[in-house]
Amino acid sequence: MSEEASDAAKAGTENTAQGGDNAKDGQFTPITSQEEMNRIVTARLNRQAAKFADYDELKAKAEKFDQAAEASKSELQKAVERAEAAEKKLGTAEAEKQRLAVIAKHQIPESLQDLVRGDSADQLEAAAAKLAELAPSAPRGPISPTEGLQPEHQSHGSSDWLRDEFLNH
């Protein structure tokens, strides 16, 4: 509220300086017409706009400064940044390798593999063990595609296949 009062006092002082009849003997008098109000508000807006008149110029200078700072980085700084990025990428790859090894160890089905998460080997092992218990029991070990099928009938050249079937069994 005190800011509004100081703005009003400045506006009154401004009116006096501009030859307005709004202030008498240094005392504030209320604004009586819309034109007077518009003039005071316009003057205030112009003062505020003048504070930021050089904003675009300063913004352009700051951008040029940033570009110059980037260009002046030494090759060593750039190499350090590349090395840090490579180390981060290597850490991510090693973590994924460890996760996949745990998944393979516990034979987690592909549909549940994204649920194996953790920051350490112990957390990964615990998650995989829990999922292995909950996962539908899938056959463990290698599976023969012909397992459980009966061999095809091998004919001995006889035309009476029914008699051969009874004799062989």
Count of structural domains, the chain: 2
- Summarised one tens digit per residue, pLDDT across range 144-164 is 666 666 666 555 555 677 777
The C-alpha atoms of residue 162 and residue 153 are separated, in whole angstroms, by: 11
- With respect to residue 125, please indicate whether it lies within any of the assigned structural domains: yes
Q: Note the pTM of the prediction, 2 decimals.
A: 0.37
- With respect to residue 9, please indicate whether it lies within any of the assigned structural domains: yes
The C-alpha atoms of residue 38 and residue 50 are separated, in whole angstroms, by: 18
- Summarised one tens digit per residue, pLDDT across range 82-135 is 999 999 999 999 999 999 999 888 888 888 888 888 888 888 899 888 888 887
- Summarised one tens digit per residue, pLDDT across range 27-79 is 888 989 999 999 999 999 999 988 888 888 999 999 999 888 877 777 778 88
Residues 88 and 50 in one domain: no
Residues 6 and 51 in one domain: yes
- With respect to residue 166, please indicate whether it lies within any of the assigned structural domains: no
The C-alpha atoms of residue 21 and residue 6 are separated, in whole angstroms, by: 19
Left (φ > 0), alpha (ψ -120 to 50) or beta: where does 107 sit? left
Structural domain range at position 11: 2-55
